[in-house]
Amino acid sequence: MNDSTALKTGHDRALSDITTIHTLGPTGTNLEKAAHHWFAGRGLAGTVLLHPEVEDGLDAMAFDGTEAILACAVYPRLHDLVFSNLHRLEMADSFLLDTHDMVLAGRPGATGAVATIVTHPAPSCLVTGRGDITLTSSNSRAAALCAAGEFDACVTTGPAAAAEGLHLLENFGPVPMVFTLHVGRPSGAGTGRA
């Protein structure tokens, strides 16, 4: 066995130790979908815990190699997650997966032009110039705020729009996305840093 094969085998074994992934909620987010996909792709039974913000997982997770945080390449604060946590998180995996269909949705029966739109920052450019845009913490949260009557429309995922009973105004389709897995490690362990 050469050195690169030994490293890959050790890396794969370390990834198989992961039993819990913390990521962005509420249910219906692309990150929730990706976390379940990651476990299924490895044939692992694991727990996906959803948080109001990706970083909230840091307060709840164990830093022992069994828990990880899942983010995505377009997450607006990915650089902060990585560089502020070099001492306790290791980016251990990444993968490409289509998101749910990204949609513009509104309340059923709402009449008139769309004046206010709520969206997560990442897909906000999909509706630039189409109304007053307010940012929120996740696509699923955007759907909930729209359904509650706080906004005329939202950019969200197809499943989140359906779960909130929203009416489809436009379907932007799925987006091929890179997701990143960050494993919690004891301080300085497994990072290659002294």
User: Which tokens belong to 132?
Assistant: 């007053």
Sole residue written with tokens 């476990």: 39
Q: Considering only CA atoms, which of 70, 60, 85 is closest in space to residue 23?
A: 70
User: Which tokens belong to 125?
Assistant: 């450019």
Do 58 and 85 contact (CB within 8 A), yes or no? yes
CA distances from 68 to 58, 62, 82, 85, 153 (A): 9, 8, 13, 12, 33
What distance in Å separates the CA atoms of residue 188 and residue 159, rounded to the nearest whole number?
40
Q: Read off the pTM.
A: 0.85
Tens digit of each residue's pLDDT, the chain (194 residues): 555 444 444 456 679 999 999 999 999 999 999 999 999 999 999 999 999 999 999 999 999 999 999 999 999 899 999 999 999 999 999 999 999 999 999 998 877 789 999 999 999 999 999 999 999 999 999 999 999 999 999 999 999 999 999 999 999 999 999 999 999 998 655 544 43
What distance in Å separates the CA atoms of residue 18 and residue 64, rounded to the nearest whole number?
9
Do 144 and 164 contact (CB within 8 A), yes or no? yes
Sole residue written with tokens 């604060």: 77
